[in-house]
Amino acid sequence: MLRQVKPMTPNRAQFDLASAREEAFMQLPYNMEFGMTRQSTIAAQLAALPTMPMKDLWALWDDHFPRRPGTWNRDYVLSRVAYKMQEAAHGGVDPDIRRRLVRLGESKSVFGKRRSEVHLMPGTVLLREYESNEYRVTVTPEGFYDLNGKVFKSLSAAARHITGVNWSGPAFFGVKQDCGKKGGKK
């Protein structure tokens, strides 16, 4: 049942991806549900993934993950399944290296870090003239911003209400802090 491979010629590629895909599924015993056997190599299994029906990819996903992703596309599912198959065959990332990578990622990541916020005392009144109108924003005791009886959670929301476009509220009201930028005064 195995396909005969033609002898190598100078014009033939070293690795025939189509043959590898076929060989991954042609071995006996053939598992109809997943299309893979233990005898097939991990490389052949990985080469076969792109042509596999989505139903079979989901079956492999269910073998490796506790639940399905909320948002997905074929490439995402294929790449996650391929990684898990390689991890199962060759072992995962060394725990020490994983810890070092997590620490490095946390120290260099910009996600989850908030920029320095402007903290204004309750009762502070900010005045801004915009398009010949004067606007007064008062900081409430709860830390919100009152603009003519309408309360906003942020200065940026108040600035957006005034201008109709997205603005940095602290910049719009002139209270933005320079956080030690190069060349600036601290």
Burial class (CB in 10 A: 0-12, 13-18, 19+), 44: buried
pLDDT at residue 77 is higher than 90: yes
pLDDT at residue 106 is higher than 50: yes
For residue 48, the model assigns a pLDDT of: 92
Residue 20 and residue 46: Cα distance in Å, rounded? 9
For residue 11, the model assigns a pLDDT of: 43
Asked whether the whole model's pTM tops 0.75, one would answer no
Between these two residues, 113 and 14, which has the higher pLDDT value? 113
Residue 33 and residue 58: Cα distance in Å, rounded? 11
Residue 180 and residue 66: Cα distance in Å, rounded? 46
For residue 74, the model assigns a pLDDT of: 92
Report the pLDDT averaged over residues 139-159: 89
| Window from 1-15, 65-79, 117-131 with minimum mean pLDDT | 1-15
For residue 40, the model assigns a pLDDT of: 63
Cis upstream peptide for 29 (omega within 30°): yes
Write out the E strands in the chain. Answer: 125-130, 133-139, 145-147, 150-152
> Looking at the chain, how many residues does it have?
186
Report the pLDDT averaged over residues 123-129: 89
